[in-house]
Structure 1
């Protein structure tokens, strides 16, 4: 059961094996603000000032015997509603491409609120759902998880905030931890031993900090400079610039605009960025980064982009529009439960099955759930060029011991 997300070709001959990047609501093959930061800990959907749309009615898709709840903010305002609709389309596309799936999707609109998520989850459970997919936002996951845990039902949520994961609540998303682990592992393998880091003073930066320090420690490396910045980027840049002479690599973990600004601040502080290996996370998959002369040759971890290209081409053919970046999460979640419904018995969605150490193969490459509900992804290492991200190390074909 190492690869249950590799169904047989559909009647049209399409297979669903491939990989992805980290962007939401952006032009497909370019990218803009990363999923990691965009969805991690919003208290309201994307902070939109737009009015939400009308509540969408519950919908059942498919005729299989295994019922699966799908909780999405379909009527939420702004980009949240757009993302949810694209994820709903991708979920239906997974059903269509998976040959004879024995599942029925019970799609519920949570409007982007904890109360809506709780109501939608309750409805799905009352209708016999054996597993819940969603919600999307971190703030909604605990409200829904109260109900699933009480019923002994597993949940696969889409939040990137690992603090909401836990017993019976698994996150199928892009976690900053995977990016950091992969890029530190790779740079260590090519001889880097001393690291510096400049991170934002926010929730994303806090997660990256913890992962970075642990990853460097596991590789017996040393951190020669570490600073976090808020409004005073120049001061933090000066402090790190003075220590770069004893560092092999510098991690800049922020979105495109901020990373470009920090590179400029380091240069202004006297740092020669050509003498050090620059490192980033999946948030670097951004046109601003690729256009920056200072960041050329920088390395970052991300899914191999070929899978998203294949997926988005099939999506455009089916729906006449481009998918948002998070759509693959819904596709992979539905394909996973369809595969488990076919291959497993009565305990098909149990923790023992979902935390199979061999993991699963999805659009975005390999992933596996940890017992604590977080996930690990098999990521590629990409190099920044003026033409975009170029792979320098491929995604792993299997997880190690």
Structure 2
């Protein structure tokens, strides 16, 4: 799974209320752009790092430490630009995130990296919307992107675009989408529909299921009937390995799904945890993942520096710092216009770039599962084209 899909913690309405407030403030103060904070040549660049230290949620402390380590690793590796990092604790609380974001600006921060989740990132964006300071959050909730807020997490849309492009090239042009009846499932469904439609493909059917074990079991007959009646040659399962994916991977073949005739595809990581690769229904299927070579190189450097393996989200913090350093070196300004001018940064998970709408575009590899092992069948591109992959 992509652990950054944490926007389910808050309802769509809560996030949109925060976003609406931020847009109103931005309209009054002027959106950030070419007039962003300038950096003085030879002087340290003040970077505020907002992390969920002090959170009551189990595991947040580990995530925060790994994100901080990755950010400091990036700062140490870039020559010619000195990044001075100050950590601010958010306790994973939106109100505290807003407070420390304002404090960071008052103390001279030229850019904010973090917070972790979308509710805190939206609140921080509202708090500093009149400052022209960009917020490079670790969230992947594109509903909060725009204005002064970037989301650097892996998004369903980015993954769907990559999967759809590869599937269409292989002749898998009629797909059925299978998604949970929850916010994540709906966002994923929309991403797949948009990606295939943009490439001339056909969404032959959309099946949904109640987000429970019983809901999965009850959905099987309807899914199989939809696949047969629609003459689909692909099935996109949006669920993750920690949710419904394993059940579907077991039950669909048992109920007649021919995975050669109907290629199974996924929007989430099938290699985390590794046991997922043993599921019979995923053998020969396709999923997207970050550039394995870039990720392995980052993991090796991180482990050498800190003595343990990085959290799966750590590369996002590294990437944020990389984008800041390269932008500052080239333009001497850290506004949205400058941050989104690059044709691609070399990140810990491969090449990526920031878009003017606040989202991120990432180069990804296509993998298949052969004999319970990951096999790369289409490597991640080394550069991004004019309009994507």
Normalised-by-shorter TM-score class: 0.7 to 0.9
Q: Does 1:373 align with 2:358?
A: yes
Runs of 4+ in 1 over 6 A off after TM superposition: none
| Separation in 2, partners of 1:141, 1:172 | 11
1:274 counterpart SS class: coil
Residue from 295, 299, 318 that aligns with 2:286: 299
Match of 2:266 in 1: 280
Residue from 376, 379, 382 that aligns with 1:391: 376
Write the deviation string for residues 34-60 of structure 1: whole angstroms up to 9, x where unpaired.
2243x334359xxxxxxxxxxxxxxxx
| Separation in 2, partners of 1:373, 1:276 | 35
The answer to whether the 8 Å contact 1:194/1:223 transfers is: yes
| Separation in 2, partners of 1:242, 1:203 | 25
Match of 1:58 in 2: none
Write the deviation string for residues 56-95 of structure 1: whole angstroms up to 9, x where unpaired.
xxxxxxx952211110112224211110111111111112
| Separation in 2, partners of 1:362, 1:311 | 9
Residue from 132, 136, 158 that aligns with 2:112: 132
**Would you say how many aligned residue pairs link Structure 1 and Structure 2?**
348
User: What are the equivalent positions in structure 2 for 1:162-241 lying under 5 Å apart?
Assistant: 162-230=142-210, 231=212, 232-241=215-224
2:222 counterpart SS class: helix
CA RMSD in angstroms, aligned pairs only: 1.9
Q: How far off its partner does 1:309 sit?
A: 1.8
TM score, norm. by length of structure 1: 0.82
Tell me: higher relative CO, structure 1 or 2? Use CA pairs within 8 A at least 6 residues apart: 1
Q: How far off its partner does 1:367 sit?
A: 1.5
Q: Does 1:111 align with 2:96?
A: no
Match of 2:2 in 1: 34
The answer to whether the 8 Å contact 2:250/2:279 transfers is: no
The answer to whether the 8 Å contact 2:164/2:195 transfers is: yes
Residue from 323, 327, 341 that aligns with 1:340: 327
Match of 1:73 in 2: 52
| Separation in 2, partners of 1:184, 1:253 | 13
| Separation in 1, partners of 2:7, 2:66 | 19
Q: How far off its partner does 1:112 sit?
A: 0.7
1:284 counterpart SS class: coil
| Separation in 2, partners of 1:64, 1:284 | 44
The answer to whether the 8 Å contact 2:302/2:308 transfers is: yes
User: What are the equivalent positions in structure 2 for 1:56-71 lying under 5 Å apart?
Assistant: 64-71=43-50
User: What are the equivalent positions in structure 2 for 1:239-318 lying under 5 Å apart?
Assistant: 239-245=222-228, 246-257=231-242, 258-286=244-272, 287-318=274-305
| Separation in 1, partners of 2:306, 2:217 | 47
2:260 counterpart SS class: helix
1:149 counterpart SS class: coil
The answer to whether the 8 Å contact 2:116/2:139 transfers is: yes
Match of 2:311 in 1: 324
| Separation in 1, partners of 2:366, 2:299 | 21
| Separation in 1, partners of 2:320, 2:63 | 15
The answer to whether the 8 Å contact 1:193/1:222 transfers is: yes
TM score, norm. by length of structure 2: 0.85
The answer to whether the 8 Å contact 2:70/2:314 transfers is: yes
| Separation in 1, partners of 2:149, 2:271 | 28
Deviates more, 1:324-333 or 1:353-362: 353-362
Q: How far off its partner does 1:99 sit?
A: 2.1
The answer to whether the 8 Å contact 1:193/1:221 transfers is: yes
2:269 counterpart SS class: helix
| Separation in 2, partners of 1:317, 1:102 | 22
Write the deviation string for residues 343-394 of structure 1: whole angstroms up to 9, x where unpaired.
212xx21121122261322111122222221121111101113453211111
